[in-house]
Amino acid sequence: MIIQEGFDDQTLSQSEFGEYIDQLTDPAPPEIEIDSVTDDFGELYRVWNGWQLLGTFYQNLEGKWIAQSCNTDDRPRCDTPLQAQLIIIAVNGLLVADAA
């Protein structure tokens, strides 16, 4: 009976360890949030990952969306606000491909 209990504890420990390893190797998607502030030129949208500001984007007078990531001086022009958001997320290395 004692051997059986030891075996069960070992099996349980191995199972819990396996679940822990699966969690480490299965990256969770980043928690991206978008908010906005009004400035002198209109709405400035901010892209956040938790408390970290990833970048900003806005619509210029020509109707293009300008993406500005925090870690680059590049300012790509986009046709949609979603494209601007994706550029900021990708530049920060947080773009997670959907496995489905």
Tell me the per-residue pLDDT of 64-75, one tens digit each, with 9 for 90 and over: 999 999 988 999
84, 60, 68, 53 alpha-carbon torsion, rounded to 10°? -80
Residue 59 has pLDDT above 90, yes or no: yes
Rounded Cα–Cα distance for residues 77 and 84 (Å): 8
47-73 exposure pattern, b = at least 16 Cβ within 10 A, e = fewer: beeeeeebbbbbbeeeeebebbbeeee
Q: What is the pLDDT of residue 95?
A: 72
- What is the residue extent of each domain of the chain? 32-91
pTM comes to 0.65
Q: What is the pLDDT of residue 1?
A: 45
Nearest Cα to Cα of residue 46 among 38, 54, 56: 56
Rounded Cα–Cα distance for residues 59 and 43 (Å): 8
Q: What is the pLDDT of residue 37?
A: 94
Residue 36's pLDDT band (cuts 50, 70, 90): very high
